[in-house]
Structure 1
Amino acid sequence: MADCYGSLASALAYHEARGNAAWTAAGVDDTTREAALLRSSEWLDGVYRSRWPGQRTGGRSQARDWPRIDAFDAEGNAIASDEVPQEVEHAAYAAALRELAKPGSLSPDIVIGQAKVLTAVKGIVWTPLRSFATTEDMAPTLTEVERALSGLVGARGATQFLVRA
């Protein structure tokens, strides 16, 4: 499982500690869990790539975005160049549970022009989202993942500059 963040054993411990019984539900095997963990790892890289600190240790040939060089956490602590932070692994486990329950739910197909919001209940009125909405505006935000990564990445859309003296 080199293409995934974490391991099945650590994912099991993570979900058992949180009472997430769906991870070990009847009919769910390791192959299914591995696939969900791979999809969640790919999703994390796709969503957070621009917010990760540092650069990939192995450059473009590296399968995942971690480990990284010149990376620091939000408090300015150096992250070893051979380390995948625990925050990233925990985020992968949290996202994998969602993928396990509903494969593809992290990366739904979106047609921006058809996105609408309910703006009036009486008489039911749907209003199209602003014309400049992006796929990022429509993508799911997992609060558990955001919390897990909060000590590692800045807020969505935020620019971070870390200076080490």
Structure 2
Amino acid sequence: MAEIYGTLAAATTYHADRGNDAWAAPGVTDAKRTAALVRASSSLDGQYGAQFPGTKTGGRTQVLAWPRKGARDHCADEAIPDTEIPQAVINAAYELALAELLKPGDSSPTVTPGRVVKRQKVDTIEREFFSAAEGASTSLDAMRPVLLAVEDALRCILVPTSASVDLLRT
């Protein structure tokens, strides 16, 4: 069995309950949905793993970031059991899997660091890039697409970073 958060059956129910018809569209096979869940689960760990509280229960050999020991849900101010994968993480994976199903690779795009497009002209092809001197962030994290449904699902679990704390202060 592939390493995914949740199950294919539960993901299908999740998307049906929300009217996400693309998940069950004609021609979309279980193999494609499973592959989207695998990519989404991996991407979720890659994007948010450093902000997950606690540590992996299985140590370095554990493929996915959850389950974890020492994790807390800071909205409920409750410990998350060491054997539990929070529903919020599973829901975030389902949301990201839909994006992956619609456009494979969308959650982990290939980017060129330091090449943030400022202006692009199509006819006679003209491109101009922002520079760090102009205040453009050229970090890889700044270039990742953000799916707000994933951010919303994880908000009570993620450990705030200094950047997110700074945003809350403004």
> Helix, strand or coil: the match of 2:114?
helix
Matched with 1:96 is: 97
- May I ask how many residue pairs the two structures share in their alignment? 156
Which amino acid is 1:45 matched to? D
- Decide which moves more: 76-85 or 148-157: 148-157
Say if 1:69 and 1:100 are closer, same or farther in 2 by CA, change over 3 A.
Answer: same
Q: What percentage of aligned pairs have identical amino acids?
A: 43
> Helix, strand or coil: the match of 1:82?
coil
Shift of 1:133: 1.3
Matched with 2:54 is: 54
Q: Give the 5 Å matches for 1:1-165.
A: 1-75=1-75, 76-118=77-119, 126-130=128-132, 133-155=138-160, 157-158=162-163
> Helix, strand or coil: the match of 1:105?
coil
> Helix, strand or coil: the match of 1:117?
strand
Please, which runs of 5 or more residues in structure 2 have no aligned partner? 120-125, 166-170
Contact 2:36 2:101 (8 Å CA) reproduced: yes
Partner Cα separation in structure 1 for residue 160 and residue 32 of structure 2:
32
Contact 2:117 2:127 (8 Å CA) reproduced: no
Question: When the two structures are superposed, what TM-score results if normalisation uses the length of structure 1?
Answer: 0.86
Shift of 1:112: 2.0
Shift of 1:116: 1.7
Shift of 1:113: 2.9
Question: When the two structures are superposed, what TM-score results if normalisation uses the length of structure 2?
Answer: 0.84
Contact 1:117 1:129 (8 Å CA) reproduced: no
Shift of 1:115: 1.5
Please, which runs of 5 or more residues in structure 1 have no aligned partner? 119-123, 161-165
